[in-house]
Amino acid sequence: MGHAGEPGQGVLVVDDDVPVGKVLVGLLLQASIPARHVASAEDALAAFKTTPFDAVLTDLQMPGMSGLELLRELKAQAPEVPVVMLTAHGSVALAVEAMKAGAADFIAKPFDRAEVLYAVRKALTLTEHTAHQPPRIAQDGSMFLGSSQSMRSVSELVARAAKTVANVLVRGESGSGKEVAARTIHRLSARNEGPFVAVNCAALPEHLLESELFGYERGAFTGAAARKPGRVELAAGGTLFLDEIGDVPMSVQPKLLRLLQEKEYERLGGTRTERADVRFIAATHRDLEALIQKGEFREDLYYRLGVIPIWMPALRDSTDDILGLAEKFAVAMSRDNGRVALRFSEGARRALLEYGWPGNIRELMCVVERLVVFTDEVVVEEADVLREIDRQRGPARTAATASDRRPSASSPADDAPPPSDESSLSSRRADAERAAVVEALKRAGQNRTLAARLLGISRRTLYNRLASFGMIDSQG
């Protein structure tokens, strides 16, 4: 979490009971967590148009739009913002419904001060982890399955894995489509009517990860005012996706091994053994074999996880898929933006093929989405592609972009102009950034969340840029 002086920091409290809302804001402020209260879901959505809050704490039952409806709307507009639900009608059934809709946590009234702070701090930890992450790849499995031999092999493995209940370990670089593969396995499996519950093991510190996975009993720790179901319980009848499994602390690994091996676990502070009715899929970009050698990952857990290993190829190693995926993304995104499907000129196709795509399919998807928004003509030219690739990498990384492009006879490396003087370069970069921000806001109809997505930056970064350009007040 950032500091109070930065634009758009803190928690938005949504509760139609104004005294309760003020108590919650006071509680958060006393804990040095910036907070603001609004009395309805409609007011919350209006507030999000001007301020990039780090998290939302909302009541479930409210007149007009309910907290659950607000949750779904926020997940559509700003999926990276965690939402904590607060209700006097708490039950496991409601918790499951809220978690399925994407809630970060669930607190029952009358609430305990420590439990509120625990849940909010956990949500803010998630925000810190995802603040600068690029948009997720579309969840439709068909969006990433290309026609290259490597992708056809992945498709066959995904289809075979879906017919079993065996544990699956999906490996590959960031942005290569690991979660899409996991969701596709779930969608094609006999458990497809059950929930798909994801846990990012890298996003939470040790004590939060354990409670997130297994849940806890009342009194298990300060702030545990009521029993809370964990993600294992919430995934009953469906699939539990353990993302970034290579980042699980050693202290949690024995309990995770027991869960996978015996399908048993205990809630924090509990004494009763619970049964887990879930199918496990894990994913990582880390070298697990090297971690085992260093004593940072259990070998028995490694073998238990990887009954069916699936390796996602890097996009640079399956170049036959680049143009097909770009065209597929262009058609889908053009349709979503209400315009005629973009086509790529020969120069644009060459530029797509020559670039190394260090961000893999996720980066390709982001670049194509910006081409759809920022290219006025129906035909995308080479200059358009190069512009959006450089924008994706950012001013500080533009020089590195050149090294990510494959050598080409049509693009010699030695004809670049000499560098400008440092102050002139800084000025030009600032002007270019401001122009890009203005253009993105125009294209997005002044919707700042959408503009940030188009620019490939977090909402917080966009607000910082707007403040530095004098385009908004520094307080957001």
Checking DSSP bridges between strand 274-275 and strand 264-265, what pairing results, if any? antiparallel
Q: Output the CA angle 181-187-191, nearest 5 degrees.
A: 120
Distance between CA atoms of 87 and 388, rounded to whole angstroms?
45
CA distance 30 to 149: 58
Q: Report, as an integer, the average pLDDT of 57-64.
A: 91
In tens, the pLDDT along 388-411 reads 998 876 654 444 444 455 554 444
The DSSP-derived string for 116-175 is HHHHHHHHHHHHHHHTTPPPPPPS-GGGT--SSHHHHHHHHHHHHHHTS---EEEE--TT
Question: Which pLDDT score, from 0 to 100, does residue 141 have?
Answer: 44
The H or E element spanning position 402 is: helix 398-404
- Segment 303-316 mean pLDDT: 94
The number of residues making up the chain comes to 476
Distance CA(259)–CA(241), nearest Å, equals: 13
- Quote the pLDDT of residue 408: 47
For residue 419, pLDDT over 60 is answered with no
What CA–CA distances, in Å, run from 420 to 341, 401, 413, 428, 467? Answer: 39, 18, 18, 10, 27
Q: Rounded to an integer, what distance in angstroms lies between the CA atom of residue 241 and that of residue 46? A: 34
Domain 315-408, CATH among 2.30.130.10, 1.10.8.60, 3.60.40.10, 3.40.710.10: 1.10.8.60
Question: What sign does the CA torsion over 255, 258, 263, 265 have?
Answer: negative
Q: Which is more confident, 427 or 457? A: 457
Mean pLDDT of 111-135: 72
Phi, psi values for residue 434, rounded to 5°: -65, -45
**423-454 core/surface letters (b: 16 or more CB in 10 A; e: else):** eeeeeeeeeebbebbeebbebbeeebbbbbbb
pLDDT at position 368, please? 94
H/E segment holding residue 460 = helix 459-468
474's CB contacts (< 8 A; 6+ apart) are 7, 467
Query: From residue 398, how far is each of 192, 341, 407, 411, 418 by CA, in Å?
Result: 43, 29, 16, 16, 15
pLDDT digits (tens, 9 = 90+) for 264-284: 999 988 889 999 999 999 999
**Strand 55-59 with 228-229, pairing:** unpaired
Q: Domain coordinates of the chain in residue numbers? A: 11-130, 141-313, 315-408, 423-476
pLDDT of residue 78: 80
Rounded distance between C-alpha atoms, residue 26 and residue 33, angstroms? 9
Per the CB < 8 A criterion, the answer to whether 301 and 260 are in contact is yes
Look at phi and psi of residue 405 and say left if phi exceeds 0, alpha if psi is from -120 to 50, else beta. beta
pLDDT in tens, 36-49: 999 999 999 999 88
User: Any residues with CB less than 8 A from the CB of 312 and at least 6 apart, and which?
Assistant: 154, 170, 171, 172, 173, 176, 177, 178, 181
Q: Is the pLDDT of residue 217 over 70?
A: yes
Return the minimum-mean-pLDDT range out of 111-115, 251-255, 292-296, 427-431.
427-431
pLDDT of 336: 82
pLDDT at 254 over 60: yes
pLDDT reading at 238 higher than 90: yes
Give the type of residue at 360. Answer: N
Class assignment of domain 141-313?
alpha beta
Question: In CATH terms, are 11-130 and 141-313 the same topology?
Answer: yes
Residue 412, pLDDT above cutoff 50: no
Which stretches does DSSP call E strand in 218-278? 228-229, 239-243, 264-265, 274-275
User: Comparing 140-144, 164-168, 451-455, which segment has the lowest mean pLDDT?
Assistant: 140-144
User: What's the average model confidence in pLDDT over 325-330?
Assistant: 92
Instruction: Render pLDDT for 453-469 as a digit per residue (tens, 0 to 9).
Output: 777 677 777 877 787 77
Protein fold of 11-130: Rossmann fold (3.40.50)
Asked whether the beta carbons of 245 and 284 are under 8 A apart, the reply is yes
Tell me whether residue 336 is exposed, middle or buried, using C-beta atoms within 10 angstroms of its C-beta: 0 to 12, 13 to 18, 19 or more. Answer: exposed
What is the C-alpha to C-alpha distance for residues 311 and 320, in angstroms, rounded to an integer? 17
First to last CA, the chain: 16
Dump the DSSP string for 312-344: PPPGGG-GGGHHHHHHHHHHHHHHHTTSPPPEE
Residues 6+ apart with CB under 8 A from 201: 209, 242, 243, 244, 245, 246, 247, 248
pLDDT tops 70 at residue 221: yes
Mean pLDDT (whole number) for 12-22? 94
* pLDDT at residue 197 greater than cutoff 80: yes
Q: pTM of this prediction?
A: 0.70
What's the DSSP call for residue 470? T
Establish whether the linkage from the previous residue to 110 is cis, with ω within 30° of 0. Answer: yes
- Which residue's entry shows tokens 């990498």? 393
The mean pLDDT value for 216-221 works out to 83
Q: Which CATH class, in words, describes the domain spanning 423-476?
A: mainly alpha
Distance CA 67, CA 190 (A): 32
CB-based contacts of 441, cutoff 8 Å, min separation 6: 448, 451
d(CA 14, CA 56): 7
CA 89 remoteness from chain centre:
29
d(CA 138, CA 145): 12
Q: What is the pLDDT of residue 172?
A: 94
